[in-house]
Amino acid sequence: MKCPFCGHLETQVVETRVSEDAACIRRRRQCGACHKRFTTYERPEVNFPAVVKKDGRRTEFDPAKVRASMTVALRKRPVSVEQIDRALARIEHQLLSAAQREIASSRIGEMVMHELKRMDKVAYVRFASVYRSFEDTQEFHELLRDI
């Protein structure tokens, strides 16, 4: 690793620790030339599949968008932030383990509906009514029968 102070290419790892949130590795390094110390962080690089919209456009998967839509459906419901985090982690895991380069946005919507159904039936109905663009009460009745 290149020293940020003198540019020397050889540095030695003095100490290695897992970060507080366990999301990365923290390394203390010392330059072989100027002997100054500095810290580096290693984080995993994950590549989610591209999301294919209904109109054919392709965008990057954005976990913040999924979280926002789940939060709206769960507004004023007795579901903790930790439960939402775990649900989002399960969705991300499914996307990564599928090992696909692209995924339809409708498939992500189905994953969100599945997680909401597990957490809170009211939030599930809220999300499904918007996601599936219900036109009349008959569609609500059919959804409620499935629950």
pTM, two decimals, is 0.64
Four-CA torsion 56, 61, 65, 66, nearest 10 degrees? 100
Are 31 and 6 a contacting pair, CB within 8 Å? Answer: yes
Helix (H) or strand (E) holding 103: strand 102-104
Q: Per-residue pLDDT tens for 58-73?
A: 999 999 999 999 999 9
pLDDT at 40: 93
The domain limits of the chain are: 11-42, 50-146
Q: Per-residue pLDDT tens for 1-24?
A: 999 999 999 999 999 999 777 778
**Is pLDDT above 70 for 141?**
no
Coil vs helix vs strand at 30: strand
Distance CA 25, CA 37 (A): 17
Q: Per-residue pLDDT tens for 29-62?
A: 999 999 999 999 898 877 899 999 999 999 999 9
* The one-letter amino acid at 51: V
pLDDT at 58: 95
